[in-house]
Amino acid sequence: QHDGAIVLACTNRPDAVDAALLRAGRCDEVVYVGLPDQEGRLQALLAHTANVAIDGDVDMRDVASRSEGFTGADIASLVRQAAMCALDDADEVVAVNCKHFHKALALTRPSVD
């Protein structure tokens, strides 16, 4: 019985979780959530770029295909990095273009092995 409280924990390193934490009565349900597939990465990219000026030359499907192994947080970091690359390129606000995403992809690594 519980008082309406549910505790949720997540990790990118399930191998590092102490077995005592997973003992019955402490953590009764373990749910594996894998990495997003290409469509999931595309949806994450679209969500994280919704309020970012994106140049028309950016093919988000291509960016999604190049981000194999990225988590949602990695994709958020990728978008921030691409925006920083755009800021570095100009004295004024410019749209993030394909070159910025390619540079960001070279600088951003997946956080999960």
Q: What is the pLDDT of residues 22-63, one digit of tens each?
A: 888 888 888 888 999 999 999 999 999 999 999 999 999 999
Q: Domain 38-107 belongs to what topology?
A: Helicase, Ruva Protein; domain 3 (1.10.8)
What are the helix (H) ranges across the chain? 38-48, 60-66, 72-89, 98-107
Cα distance between residue 57 and residue 111, in whole Å: 27
Predicted model pTM: 0.80
Rounded to an integer, the average pLDDT of 93-112 is 93
* Predicted pLDDT of residue 1: 61
Task: Match 């390129």 to its residue by tokens.
Answer: 89
Where along the chain do its domains lie? 38-107
